[in-house]
A and B are shown apart, each in its own frame.
Chain A
């Protein structure tokens, strides 16, 4: 499964508990209130486990996690695609 779909599945199924939700790649995850601060940290923890990487605190920035596109771009820079 592509990175984007893996991330999408985690957000809709595990964070939002709504697997049927249509979540677009560029949808704002935060301003809409979709994901709260706890959810954001769970997403980071999930990516660390799923891809065997360590996301340092200085990388946990809004611009890396504001949408599925942003997460995929960040993972891409970490060599995951």
Chain B
């Protein structure tokens, strides 16, 4: 079944980072601690990318998410200091939403586990990825017949819209 080698070991360590960090984010009361947990979690995801032979994505993950976004969050937390200790707000629907959330979690877990470890295990033996995705591959995928031209262009429009929005909302009128 599972071979115990360096990769498997690394996978479990990274998985621990991702899940532990994620749990930390939602359980801590302190926003700064939450940010640190988030960085841990994002670092684990970067590790996954390395295991999936996508080194470029791993580097981008570290640069963009840990380098830029996490730092941005830290700044935001510093500038809005009054929010660092929040009271819990629970509304009347919490029982129902807990049930729905747990059900969804169980269903998703089953869905993901079954194809790998289920009776027919059709996906278990397959290699994770056959190619090492380099920057060149990625660049080509965005313009080549690998069909990502249109999403790439539409994403640029999307970012324009988001940028306009940020300015419109943040700018004080005169």
Q: Decide whether A and B are members of one complex.
A: no
